[in-house]
Amino acid sequence: MQRVGVFDQGVLEPATGRDLTTGRADFIERAQTRGELFIEQPYGLYSEANQQTWRRLYRALAGKWEQHAHPRFLDGVTRLALDPDRIPRLADINRFLEPLSGFRARAVSGYVPAYLFFDCLRRREFPTTITVRDGDRLDYLPEPDIFHDLAGHVPMHTDPAFADVLVRFGEAARTAAVRARDGDCRRVESALKALARFFWFTIEFGLMRRPDGDGLCAYGSGLLSSAGEIGHALESPRVQRVPFQLDWVVNQSFEIDSLQPLLFVVDGFDHLEREVLRLERWLGDGRLDNVAPGEPAVSREDLRSFRPDAR
Ligand SMILES: [Fe+2]
Mean predicted lDDT score pLDDT of the chain = 92
170 belongs to a structural domain: yes
13 belongs to a structural domain: no
Ligand 1 center from residue 130 Cα (angstroms): 13
145 belongs to a structural domain: yes
93 belongs to a structural domain: yes
User: Could you tell me which residue, 245 or 12, shows the higher pLDDT?
Assistant: 245
pLDDT over 90 at 123, yes or no:
yes
1 belongs to a structural domain: no
Ligand 1 center from residue 9 Cα (angstroms): 26
pLDDT band at 105 (very low <50, low <70, confident <90, very high): very high
Ligand 1 center from residue 222 Cα (angstroms): 6
Report the pLDDT value the prediction gives residue 154, as an integer from 0 to 100. Answer: 98
- pLDDT (tens digit per residue) in 165-181: 999 999 999 999 988 88
pLDDT over 70 at 6, yes or no:
no
Report the pLDDT value the prediction gives residue 136, as an integer from 0 to 100. Answer: 85
Ligand 1 center from residue 182 Cα (angstroms): 30
Ligand 1 center from residue 154 Cα (angstroms): 10
| Lowest pLDDT segment from 6-20, 95-109, 164-178 | 6-20
Residue 3, SS3 per DSSP: coil
- pLDDT (tens digit per residue) in 259-300: 999 999 999 999 999 999 999 999 999 999 999 999 999 999
Element (H, E) at 237: none
Q: Structural domain of residue 290, as residue ranges?
A: 26-306
Ligand 1 center from residue 27 Cα (angstroms): 22
Q: Could you say which DSSP state residue 21 is in?
A: B
Ligand 1 center from residue 148 Cα (angstroms): 6
pLDDT over 60 at 2, yes or no:
no
14 belongs to a structural domain: no
Q: What average pLDDT does the segment 184-205 reach? A: 94
9 belongs to a structural domain: no
Ligand 1 center from residue 14 Cα (angstroms): 26
Report the pLDDT value the prediction gives residue 279, as an integer from 0 to 100. Answer: 98
Ligand 1 center from residue 183 Cα (angstroms): 28
- Please tell me the pTM assigned to this model: 0.92
CATH number at residue 70: 1.10.800.10
134 belongs to a structural domain: yes
How far is the CA of 34 from the CAs of 27, 145, 250, in angstroms? Answer: 11, 21, 36
Ligand 1 center from residue 128 Cα (angstroms): 9
CB within 8 A of 228, min separation 6: which ones?
3, 4, 6, 139, 259
Look at the chain and report how many structural domains it folds into. Answer: 1
Ligand 1 center from residue 152 Cα (angstroms): 7
- pLDDT (tens digit per residue) in 77-97: 999 999 999 999 999 999 999
User: Could you tell me which residue, 125 or 9, shows the higher pLDDT?
Assistant: 125
